[in-house]
Amino acid sequence: MNNYEELANAIILQAVRDYRDALGMLAKNPNSISANRDKSDCERFFLGKWFSELTKIDGKQLMHKLQREAEQS
């Protein structure tokens, strides 16, 4: 794996952690402004051009998987 791939993976993993955190916070407090903002930011990233340039993963499918994961916990 080259440096570009390592950086791309690190960016994506951080977005996944941020999204999980936002979903967890929203489960406890659905009116949290910061959690809603973070969730929206992550969703824009997962559906955006930059995400598709970093990986071949389908961002929409990833979001749905993370949402189902949050619902089960």
State pLDDT tens for residues 1-50. Answer: 799 999 999 999 999 999 999 999 999 999 999 999 999 999 999 999 99
Q: How many CB atoms are located within 10 Å of the residue 59 CB?
A: 20
User: What DSSP string describes 7-55?
Assistant: HHHHHHHHHHHHHHHHHHHHHH-TT-HHHHHHHHHHHHHHHSHHHHHH-
How does residue 69 score in pLDDT terms, banded at 50, 70 and 90? very high
| Confidence at residue 73, expressed as pLDDT on a 0 to 100 scale | 81
